[in-house]
Amino acid sequence: MSTTRQYLDLDTVKKRWAPRVRRAKRMWSRFTTHKMGVLGVLILLTFILMALFPGAFTRHSLEWQAYLGTDNLRHTAAQRETLPHPPAFGDPFWAPLGTNQSGQSIWTLIVYSADTALYIGFAAGLLSSLVGVPLGLIRGYYGDTWVDGLIQRLVDVFYGLPFLPFLIVLVAIRGVSTTNIILGIAITSWLNQCIIIRGETLSLKERSYVDSAKVAGASDARVVFRHILPNVLPLTFVFLAQDAATAILAQASLAYLGLADFTTISWGMMIQNIQSQGYVFQAWWWLIPPGLAIAAIAAAFYFIGYSMEDVTNPQGT
Partner 1 sequence: MSRISARWLLVRLGSAYVTLLVIMTIIFGLIQATPGDFISAMIGPETTQDQIDALYEQWGVNDPLWQQYIDYMINYQTLEFGRSPFYGEDAADLIIRRLPRTLTLFGAAFLIGYVVGPLVGMYLGWWRGTRKDKSVFAGGLLMFSMPAFWIAWLGIWLFNYNLGVFPSRYMFTQFPSFESWTILRTITDVLRHIALPLGSLAFVGWVGSMLVMRPNMINVTEQDYVFLAHAKGLSERTVMIKHAARNALLPVATQAIVGIAFIIDGSVIIEQVFSWPGIGLTLVDAVFNNDYPSADPIR
Tell which one of 287, 308, 311, 312 touches partner 1 (CB under 8 A).
287
State the nearest-atom distance from the C-beta of 100 to partner 1, in Å: 15
* SS3 labels along the chain: CHHHHHHHCHHHHHHHHHHHHHHHHHHHHHHCCCHHHHHHHHHHHHHHHHHHCHHHHCCCCCCCECCCECCCCCCCHHHHHCCCCCCECCCCCCECCCECCCCCEHHHHHHHHHHHHHHHHHHHHHHHHHHHHHHHHHHHHCCCCHHHHHHHHHHHHHHHCCHHHHHHHHHHHHCCCHHHHHHHHHHHHCHHHHHHHHHHHHHHCCCHHHHHHHHCCCCHHHHHHHHHHHHHHHHHHHHHHHHHHHHHHHHHHHHHCCCCCCCCCCHHHHHHHHHHHCCCCCCHHHHHHHHHHHHHHHHHHHHHHHHHHHHHCCCCC
Q: How far is the CB of 184 from partner 1 (least distance, A)?
A: 12
Q: Which residues pair with 88 in a beta bridge?
A: 95
Residue 250 CA to residue 269 CA, distance in Å, equals 12
What whole-number distance in Å separates Cα of residue 317 and Cα of residue 311?
9
**Prior bond to 92 cis, omega within 30?**
yes
Binding segment (CB under 8 A) for partner 1, from list 67-75, 117-125, 131-139, 277-285: 277-285
CB nearer partner 1, residue 124 or residue 298 = 298
Binding status of residue 295 toward partner 1 by CB under 8 A: yes
317 binds partner 1 (CB under 8 A): yes
Shortest distance in whole angstroms from residue 55 CB to partner 1: 28
Least CB distance from residue 171 to partner 1, whole Å? 10
> Is 145 an interacting residue with respect to partner 1 (CB under 8 A)?
no
Shortest Å distance, C-beta 232 to partner 1: 18
Least distance in angstroms from the C-beta of 292 to partner 1: 8
Query: What distance in Å separates the CA atoms of residue 248 and residue 116, rounded to the nearest whole number?
Result: 9
Residue 99 forms beta bridges with which residues? Answer: 105
Residues 246-275 that bind partner 1 (CB under 8 A): 249, 252-253, 256-257, 268, 271, 275
Rule CB under 8 A: say whether 97 interacts with partner 1. Answer: no
CB of 261 to partner 1, least distance (A): 18
6/317 with CB nearer partner 1: 317
Which of 78, 157, 215, 216 forms a contact with partner 1 (CB under 8 A)? Answer: 157
Restricting to residues 7-46, name those near partner 1 by CB under 8 A: 35-36, 39
Sign of torsion over alpha carbons 199, 247, 171, 258: negative
Distance of closest approach, residue 13 Cβ to partner 1, in angstroms:
39
Q: Which is nearer to partner 1, 69 or 162 (CB)?
A: 162
Q: Residue 70 or residue 203: which is nearer to partner 1 going by CB?
A: 203
- Please state the closest distance from residue 1 (CB atom) to partner 1, in A: 55
- The 172-211 contact track toward partner 1, x by CB under 8 A, reads xx--------------------------------------
# of chain residues touching partner 1 (CB under 8 A): 47
C-alpha span between 12 and 289 (Å, rounded): 51
- Residue ranges in contact with partner 1 by CB under 8 A: 35-36, 39, 153, 156-157, 159-166, 168-169, 172-173, 245, 249, 252-253, 256-257, 268, 271, 275, 280-281, 284, 287-288, 290-291, 294-299, 301-303, 306, 315-317
